C-alpha cells in the first residue's frame, strides 16, 4: 500500500510531522517499509523556456537550442524530435547527476557545437518510461522555478506493509482512520452525496449465482468526454507507481487506492444486451486488458453479455469493452465478489491486479453504493455528461454482529489495564458502535469495514493496539528454581552425542515410518495387542507400531548397497524381574559394500584375514547380556573387519543359532527396544527378510552383540566398560568407527 504525505492529509487533519506519522504507524501494526523523498535528487532541475531551436550544422537529427533558465541563457544540443521554439521543458545544468543513470553531466562539444546543459525526458528523471522525447510543460509553467516543486514531486511517498487481515487499510482513508483514532489528528468527513439519475438505462444486470456475487450495482453515463487526466490526478497516480491512462480509467484506479473501492468501467457502446454474472463455460476465452488471452473454465466468475465474456469478476476487464479516447458512454461497475473464488481465479490464470488483491481479502459490503456515488460525481465533474438511475442486482449481505467486551479483559488478556470508559472511546473512534452494560462491560458492534473482528479477543487487540503496545509492562515468567538448568536431559545429550559421532564417521541417519504391516511384524514375534492400530485409513497398510528400518535394510541389501544401523536407548529390566533401569546402551550393525554372491565378496573372503568386532560401546551403568551369562547372535550375526583398510565389513554367519536358549535366571538391564535373535544363512535367499523368516523368532534381552566364529575367542560385547576403553581393547579393535564410552556426558 503506497500513498503520499499530502494525499494522506486529504483525509487526516493533522499538524504532526512526517516522522511522528511514521512512528505511530509502526506502533499501530502497520510497518513502514520505505519513506521516499522523490525531490531529493531533482533539486538542480528547473523549468526553462526554449528561445530558439535551430538545426545542427553538422548533424541532421540534432538541434541547437538556446534555453532561458531564468538566470541566464544557455546553449544546449538536443536530439529530441519534439524540441521546438517556444516550448517549456526541464533543464539540467552542467554538473548535475542524472537520476536514472547516475551519470555526471558535463560541458561538452557535440559535432563541433558546445553544449552546456541538457533538456530532460521523463525517463532520464526516473519519473516514467517515456524516452521518445523531452518533457513538455504547459505554457503557464513559471520559468526558473524548481521542477520538483512545480510538479508536486516534493510530496514524500510512504510504502506501508498491510497485514492480510486489515483489508480496510488498503485505502488511504483506512490508514487515516487508524491515525485519527490514536490521537494523531482528526478524520475528515467523506462526501458521498447521492447523484440524481436523469434517465433509466437500457442495460440490465442479472446474477445467476449469488454465492459468487451477492451484490452488483451499475450506472450508465452518456455524453462523457474521455481524455488525459488533470495534473493533480496524474501526480498522485505517478507518485505511487501507476501509469495514467485516461480520465475514466484513472478515476477507477484512484478510488481503488483512495477509498479501497475497486471499480470497473465498460464502454457501453460496445456492449451487446444485458450483463450477466455467471460461471464461465468450457471453451470460452477472454482477451484481457493486459493483452493476454485466457482460456476459462466452469470455476471462474465471468461477466458476460450476449456476445460472450467481457470481464472476470474482481480480477480484470476485457479489451473488447475497454474505454478509449473515443468513448462517449460508459457503464460503471461496483460489485461484491466472493473472496475465495476471486483468489482461485487469479491463481489459476496467474493474474495479479489491484482489484484482485483487495477482493480476496474482503471489502466493505456497506460501501458499494457510496463508492459508486463518489465515482459518478467525480466522472461527471471531469468528463461531463449525465448519469442514469442506479441498476441494482442482488442485495447487501448481512454483516452485523455483536460481541461483549468484559471490563477486565484488556488487563487479563492484553496485559494493559484500560478503564471501560477509555476502551469505549477508542472503539468509538475506530467506528465501532458501543453500548455500556452493567458492571462496566461493553456491547460492541464492529463496523462494516472490519470483517476481521470476530470476537472479544479481537476487541481487546484493538484497544491495546490504539492505547500502545509499548505501554504493556514486561512480566518475567516464574522459575521453579533460582538457578537456570539445561533444557536437554541427560538421555537427550547422550543420544545427540552418539548421532554426531556416527555422522562424523560417515553414517547417515534415516527416519522411517512408525508403522509396518502385520506380516513384517510377525517376523519379529509380532507385537502386543495394544499396539495394533484400530479401524483407521492406514490400518490396511500399517497395523503394527514397530520400527520399519527392516524394510529399508532389506531393500538396500537387495540392491547390493552397503548399509549400517545404529540404535541407542535407555536400559530396562528383563520382563517379569522388576529391576530398575541402570544405564544406556548403544549398538551398531553393518552390511558389506558388496553382495555376498559377488566376485568381490568371494575374493575378500579368501584373501583377507578377518576377526570379530565389538560394538561401539556400552554406557557405564548398563549391561548387555542374557540372564544366563551367555551371548545371543544379533541381527547381522557376525562382523568382520578388513584389516588392511580399517573399515567395517560384515557377513552373515553360516547357519548360526542363538547361543542362549534358557530364560534369564536373574534380572539384567536390557535395552528399551526388544530385539529378536535372527540367523542369516548364506544358502538362503538373498533378501535379509527371507533369511529372517526361515528362522524361529525368539526375543532377546540384549542389544545387538557380536557372535564369534571361534568359541575360544572372547566376545567384545562381554567386556566390561573399563575393558572396552583399555589400550589393549583398542589395539584389538583399531576401527575408526569405534565409540569411546568415556566421552559420553
Domain spans, the chain:
2-38+156-187, 46-150, 205-394, 403-468, 492-506+565-743
pLDDT at 636: 30
Pairing of strands 31-36, 308-312: unpaired
Mean pLDDT of 327-338: 95
pLDDT greater at residue 506 or residue 56:
56
Angle at the Cα of 647 from the Cα atoms of 641 and 653, rounded to 5 degrees: 30
Mean pLDDT of 251-266: 95
Q: What is the pLDDT of residues 651-693, one digit of tens each?
A: 333 333 333 333 333 333 333 332 333 332 233 333 333 333 3
* Average pLDDT of the chain, as a whole number: 76
pLDDT at 330: 95
Instruction: Quickly list DSSP for 174-210.
Output: HHHHHHHHTTSSEEPP---PPPPP-S--S--EEES-T
pLDDT at 503: 87
Least confident window among 252-261, 497-506, 573-582: 573-582
Arch. (CATH architecture) of 2-38+156-187: 2-Layer Sandwich (3.30)
Q: How far apart are CA 131 and CA 162, in angstroms?
A: 34
Q: How far apart are CA 47 and CA 134, in angstroms?
A: 12
Q: Is the pLDDT of residue 625 over 50?
A: no
Domains 2-38+156-187 and 403-468 in one fold: yes
pLDDT at 24: 94
pLDDT at 706: 36
Q: Which residues pair with 53 in a beta bridge?
A: 65
Would you put residue 185 in left (φ > 0), alpha (ψ -120 to 50) or beta?
left
pLDDT at 100: 83
Q: How far apart are CA 292 and CA 286, in angstroms?
A: 8
pLDDT at 140: 84
Confidence band, pLDDT 50/70/90 cuts, at residue 646: very low
pLDDT at 614: 35
pLDDT at 412: 92
Please name which of 80, 83, 109, 104 lies closest in space to residue 94, comparing C-alpha atoms: 104
Least confident window among 144-148, 423-427, 463-467, 667-671: 667-671
Mean pLDDT of 290-313: 93
Q: What is the pLDDT of residues 174-191, one digit of tens each?
A: 999 999 999 999 999 999
Confidence band, pLDDT 50/70/90 cuts, at residue 565: low
Confidence band, pLDDT 50/70/90 cuts, at residue 605: very low
CATH of 46-150, one of 3.60.21.10, 3.40.720.10, 2.40.50.140, 3.40.190.10: 2.40.50.140
Q: How far apart are CA 424 and CA 27, in angstroms?
A: 20
Alpha carbon 548 to chain centroid distance? 35
pLDDT at 675: 30
Confidence band, pLDDT 50/70/90 cuts, at residue 452: very high
pTM of the model: 0.63
Cα dihedral angle (527, 528, 531, 532), rounded to 10 degrees? 70
Q: By the 8 A CB rule, do 403 and 240 touch?
A: no
Mean pLDDT of 85-106: 89
Q: By the 8 A CB rule, do 45 and 160 touch?
A: no
Confidence band, pLDDT 50/70/90 cuts, at residue 560: low
Q: What CATH number was assigned to the domain covering residues 403-468?
A: 3.30.56.10
Alpha carbon 128 to chain centroid distance? 30
Q: Is the pLDDT of residue 709 over 60?
A: no
User: At 493, is the secondary structure helix, strand, or coil?
Assistant: helix
Least confident window among 327-341, 447-461, 500-514: 500-514
pLDDT greater at residue 543 or residue 100:
100
Least confident window among 10-19, 58-67, 366-375, 636-645: 636-645
Q: How far apart are CA 95 and CA 82, in angstroms?
A: 25
Arch. (CATH architecture) of 205-394: 3-Layer(bba) Sandwich (3.50)
Q: What angle separates helix 247-258 from helix 368-383, to the nearest 10 degrees?
A: 140
Exposed/middle/buried for residue 737 (C-beta within 10 Å: 0-12, 13-18, 19+): buried
pLDDT greater at residue 578 or residue 522:
522
Least confident window among 219-233, 266-280, 288-302, 480-494: 480-494
Amino acid at each position: 500500500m503506497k500513498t503520499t504525505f499530502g494525499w494522506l492529509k486529504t483525509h487526516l487533519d493533522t499538524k504532526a510531522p512526517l516522522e511522528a506519522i511514521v512512528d505511530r504507524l509502526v506502533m499501530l501494526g502497520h510497518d513502514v517499509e520505505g519513506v521516499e523523498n522523490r525531490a531529493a535528487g531533482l533539486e538542480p532541475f528547473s523549468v526553462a523556456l526554449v528561445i530558439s531551436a535551430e538545426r545542427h550544422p553538422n548533424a541532421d537529427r540534432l538541434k541547437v537550442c538556446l534555453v532561458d533558465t531564468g538566470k541566464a541563457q544557455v546553449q544546449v544540443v538536443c536530439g529530441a524530435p519534439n524540441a521546438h521554439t517556444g516550448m517549456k521543458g526541464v533543464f539540467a545544468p552542467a554538473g548535475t547527476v542524472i537520476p536514472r543513470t547516475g551519470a555526471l553531466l558535463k560541458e561538452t562539444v557535440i559535432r563541433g557545437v558546445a553544449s552546456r546543459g541538457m533538456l530532460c525526458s521523463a525517463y532520464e528523471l526516473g519519473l516514467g518510461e517515456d524516452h521518445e522525447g523531452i518533457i513538455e510543460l504547459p505554457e503557464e509553467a513559471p520559468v526558473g522555478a524548481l521542477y520538483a516543486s512545480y510538479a508536486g514531486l516534493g510530496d514524500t511517498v510512504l510504502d506501508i506493509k498491510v497485514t492480510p487481515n486489515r483489508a480496510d487499510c488498503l485505502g488511504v482513508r483506512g490508514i487515516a482512520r487508524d491515525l485519527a483514532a490514536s490521537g494523531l489528528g482528526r478524520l475528515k468527513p467523506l462526501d458521498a452525496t447521492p447523484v440524481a439519475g436523469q434517465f433509466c438505462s437500457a442495460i440490465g444486470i442479472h446474477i445467476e449465482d449469488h454465492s459468487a456475487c451477492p451484490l452488483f450495482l451499475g450506472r450508465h453515463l452518456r455524453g462523457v468526454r474521455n481524455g488525459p487526466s488533470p495534473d493533480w490526478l496524474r501526480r498522485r497516480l505517478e507518485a505511487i507507481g501507476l501509469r495514467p491512462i485516461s480520465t475514466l480509467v484513472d478515476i477507477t484506479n484512484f478510488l481503488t487506492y483512495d477509498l479501497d473501492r475497486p471499480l470497473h468501467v465498460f464502454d457501453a457502446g460496445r456492449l451487446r444486451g444485458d450483463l450477466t454474472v455467471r460461471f464461465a463455460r468450457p471453451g470460452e476465452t477472454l482477451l484481457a486488458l493486459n493483452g493476454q488471452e485466457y482460456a476459462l473454465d466452469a470455476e471462474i466468475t465471468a461477466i458476460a453479455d450476449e456476445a460472450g465474456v467481457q470481464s472476470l469478476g474482481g480480477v480484470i476487464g476485457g479489451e473488447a469493452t475497454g474505454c478509449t479516447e473515443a468513448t462517449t458512454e460508459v457503464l460503471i461497475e461496483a460489485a461484491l465478489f466472493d473472496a475465495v473464488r476471486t483468489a482461485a481465479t487469479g491463481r489459476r490464470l496467474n493474474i495479479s491486479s489491484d482489484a484482485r488483491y483487495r477482493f480476496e481479502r474482503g471489502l466493505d459490503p456497506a460501501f458499494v453504493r457510496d463508492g459508486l456515488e463518489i465515482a459518478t460525481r467525480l466522472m461527471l465533474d471531469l468528463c461531463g455528461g449525465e448519469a442514469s438511475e442506479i441498476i441494482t442486482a442482488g442485495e447487501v449481505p448481512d454483516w452485523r454482529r455483536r460481541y461483549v467486551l468484559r471490563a477486565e479483559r484488556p488487563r487479563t488478556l492484553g496485559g494493559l489495564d484500560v478503564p471501560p470508559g477509555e476502551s469505549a472511546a477508542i472503539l468509538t473512534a475506530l467506528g465501532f458502535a458501543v453500548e455500556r452494560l452493567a458492571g462496566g462491560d461493553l456491547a460492541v458492534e464492529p463496523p462494516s469495514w472490519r470483517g476481521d473482528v470476530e470476537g472479544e479477543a479481537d476487541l481487546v487487540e484493538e484497544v491495546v493496539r490504539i492505547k500502545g503496545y509499548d505501554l504493556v509492562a514486561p512480566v518475567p515468567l516464574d522459575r521453579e528454581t533460582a538457578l537456570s538448568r539445561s533444557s536437554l536431559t541427560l538421555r537427550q545429550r547422550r543420544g545427540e552425542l552418539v548421532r554426531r559421532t556416527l555422522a562424523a564417521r560417515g553414517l547417515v541417519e534415516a527416519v522411517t515410518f512408525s508403522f509396518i504391516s502385520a506380516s513384517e511384524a510377525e517376523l519379529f514375534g509380532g507385537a502386543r495387542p495394544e499396539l495394533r492400530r484400530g479401524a483407521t485409513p492406514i490400518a490396511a497398510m500399517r497395523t503394527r507400531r514397530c520400527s520399519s528400518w527392516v524394510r529399508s535394510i532389506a531393500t538396500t541389501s537387495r540392491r547390493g548397497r552397503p548399509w549400517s544401523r545404529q540404535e541407542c536407548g535407555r536400559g530396562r529390566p528383563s520382563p517379569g524381574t522388576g529391576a530398575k533401569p541402570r544405564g544406556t546402551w548403544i549398538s551398531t550393525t553393518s552390511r558389506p559394500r558388496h553382495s555376498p554372491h559377488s566376485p568381490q565378496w568371494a575374493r575378500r573372503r579368501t584373501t583377507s584375514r578377518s576377526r570379530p568386532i565389538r560394538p561401539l560401546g556400552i554406557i557405564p551403568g548398563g549391561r548387555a547380556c542374557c540372564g544366563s551369562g551367555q551371548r545371543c547372535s544379533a541381527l547381522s550375526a557376525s562382523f568382520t573387519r578388513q584389516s588392511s583398510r580399517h573399515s567395517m565389513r560384515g557377513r552373515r554367519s553360516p547357519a548360526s543359532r542363538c547361543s542362549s536358549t534358557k530364560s534369564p535366571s536373574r534380572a539384567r538391564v536390557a535395552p528399551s527396544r526388544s530385539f529378536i535373535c535372527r540367523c542369516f544363512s548364506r544358502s538362503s535367499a538373498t533378501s535379509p527378510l527371507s533369511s529372517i523368516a526361515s528362522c524361529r523368532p525368539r526375543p532377546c534381552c540384549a542389544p545387538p552383540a557380536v557372535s564369534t566364529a571361534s568359541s575360544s575367542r572372547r566376545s567384545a560385547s562381554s567386556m566390561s566398560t573399563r575393558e572396552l576403553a583399555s589400550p589393549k581393547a583398542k589395539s584389538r579393535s583399531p576401527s575408526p568407527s569405534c565409540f569411546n564410552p568415556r566421552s559420553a556426558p
